[in-house]
Amino acid sequence: MTTIEAEPQKLRRSLNTPLLILYGLGVTVGAGIYVLIGATAGQAGPYAPIAFLVAAAVVAFTAFSYAELSTRYPVSAGEAAYVEAGFQRNWLTVLVGLSVAASGIISASAVSIGAASYLHPLTGIAEPILTIGVVGLMALIALWGITQSVVVAAVITVIEISGLLFVIYWGFGEADPAGVPFTEMLPDLSGPHWAGIGAASLLAFFAFVGFEDMANVAEEVKDPTQTMPKAIIWTLVLATLIYVATTTAVLFAVPLEKLALSDAPLALVFEDASPRIQQGFGAIAVVATVNGVLIQMIMASRVLYGLADRGHLPAVFARVAPRFQTPVIATLCVAAIIMVLTQTLPIEALAERTSQVVLAVFILVNLALIRLKHRDPPTMNYYRVPVIVPYLGVAASLLLFGTSLL
């Protein structure tokens, strides 16, 4: 009797452009903007919005490189697949993939601790228990299914962005203008203030880290050739507009000295508001941090799945749950590591290195695209960018990476 072997279960292509944009915004416009504005203002002073624009310019070149690569190779573990195709070195492929997964896991760990810190005053439950609860709940949602997970993340993203839009409205329309006048937010074209803007741009870069995670769900996207470039570009444009508007509104409403010293800068906009409004915004901040945990968990598990599916990690990480069509072992592994990190390691020190890891990956991804463009003849079945784009991506990432070492 002939035995017919069942084909390995694969991921389901179910994400359309709106869902992918919301996913991208959810992982990009996350907890970072809720805490970074104060630190950015501390470095750049009244020119903090310019720092976000500089960071967006640095990210933009690499974003276009990702737009091409994600249509050439619409698979999980995107960055690892790109580097593998460009350099054809297994060790480099695994290193890049694990670096991307590690950055997501570290970020999710730090954000989990932040979520627990927001929840503790509301519940009275010990923060370590809250942290485990947050991670466990997000793992269950991630296991539920990619469509369900991204829909949940999309709903949370809408709430999260609504909170930022409310900050913009309140800062410009309701709060007393106790901060910096608009005319003082535009810097001269030369002067020592650009050193502060450059240093602040590295902090602002943290707020843009995440758009590249969209490449790691490309295997679950409908028509990736059309969907991926549009979603990546729209995510970057919308995130930049939101960041600049939010930063400007907060600077306009809050005294600069007070803003630069705050770990919860957006809450300062509502200091004169009613307790109900303050509590409502606090709840949105909790939702924002929880969303970051879910999306980073999805990303990291897909990287492990993608590496295993391509033979770079043990095959067990490529195991997909038949019912939900999600990488069950990879997701549980990621959740377990996050739980351990939140309970044992100084996440703040590790998180400071996340941007350097991401910039190093950006450099390698752009170099991989340069090699592919010079080596492989062009075809018509994927999105293409001019060859100058990845060169500019390498230069911009190297410049910001060098700034991070000063």
CA angle in degrees (0–180, nearest 5) for 373-209-257: 140
Eight-class DSSP state of 167: H
pLDDT computed for residue 310 by the predictor: 74
Mean pLDDT of 54-67: 90
Q: Are 205 and 281 in contact (CB under 8 A)?
A: no
The C-alpha atoms of residue 117 and residue 288 are separated, in whole angstroms, by 13
Task: Quickly state the pLDDT bin for 309 (edges 50, 70, 90).
Answer: confident
When mean pLDDT is compared across 23-27, 309-313, 352-356, 400-404, the lowest value belongs to 352-356
Is pLDDT at 1 greater than 80 in this prediction?
no
Helices (H), 272-387: 275-309, 328-344, 347-351, 354-375
Is pLDDT at 7 greater than 60 in this prediction?
no
CB atoms within 10 A of CB 126: 11
pLDDT computed for residue 379 by the predictor: 66
Q: In the chain, what are the domains?
A: 17-379 (1.20.1740.10)
Q: What is the pTM of this model?
A: 0.76
pLDDT computed for residue 38 by the predictor: 79
Q: Are 38 and 259 in contact (CB under 8 A)?
A: yes
Mean pLDDT of 237-249: 92
Report CA-CA distances (Å) from 114 to 28, 30, 46, 309.
Answer: 17, 12, 27, 33
The C-alpha atoms of residue 376 and residue 391 are separated, in whole angstroms, by 17
Averaged pLDDT score across all residues of the chain: 80
Q: What is the pLDDT of residues 76-108, one digit of tens each?
A: 667 778 888 888 888 888 888 788 888 788 878
What are the beta bridge partners of residue 221? 15
The C-alpha atoms of residue 27 and residue 212 are separated, in whole angstroms, by 9
pLDDT computed for residue 249 by the predictor: 92
pLDDT computed for residue 378 by the predictor: 66
